[in-house]
Amino acid sequence: GAGVSQSPSNKVTEKGKDVELRCDPISGHTALYWYRQSLGQGLEFLIYFQGNSAPDKSGLPSDRFSAERTGGSVSTLTIQRTQQEDSAVYLCASSGGLAVWEQYFGPGTRLTVT
């Protein structure tokens, strides 16, 4: 596609429910990143994919968070048993090859846990 897309754009869920966030990277980009941004804060790294594998999962906040990427394209971030502290904007980015420094971001999913 022309850019990185994410869905849904907004998600309101009740505490304890599971949510799935989707990211569709730029076509041909092999690297895909998930970040979390709380209001007025910086970007917190969650996980990184090179192709379908995730070399580094150390940023995932807890075992309630998981992510997968299939076909070297679409990625899904799943949060189980959501908590209020999970409320944030979840951003996905992709980059071509080893150009880690130039990432293209999607519009984000704003997650609100009530």
Partner 1 sequence: GQSLEQPSEVTAVEGAIVQINCTYQTSGFYGLSWYQQHDGGAPTFLSYNALDGLEETGRFSSFLSRSDSYGYLLLQELQMKDSASYFCACEWHSYSGAGSYQLTFGKGTKLSVIP
Which stretch in 14-22, 42-50, 61-69, 72-80 sits in contact with partner 1 by CB under 8 A? 42-50
Question: Measured in Å, how far apart are the chain's first and last C-alpha atoms?
Answer: 33
Is residue 67 within 8 A of residue 79, CB to CB? The reply is no
Rounded to a whole number of angstroms, the minimum distance from the CB of residue 15 to partner 1 is 25
Residue 90 near partner 1 by CB under 8 A: no
Site for partner 1 in 22-41 (CB under 8 A): 33, 35, 41
Residue 53 near partner 1 by CB under 8 A: yes
Residue 18 Cα to chain centre, angstroms:
15
Is residue 48 within 8 A of residue 31, CB to CB? The reply is yes
Rounded to a whole number of angstroms, the minimum distance from the CB of residue 102 to partner 1 is 5
- C-alpha pair distances (Å), 51 with each of 12, 18, 69: 30, 26, 8
Q: Which residues of the chain form contacts with partner 1 (CB under 8 A)?
A: 33, 35, 41-43, 45, 48, 50, 53-58, 91, 93, 98, 100-108
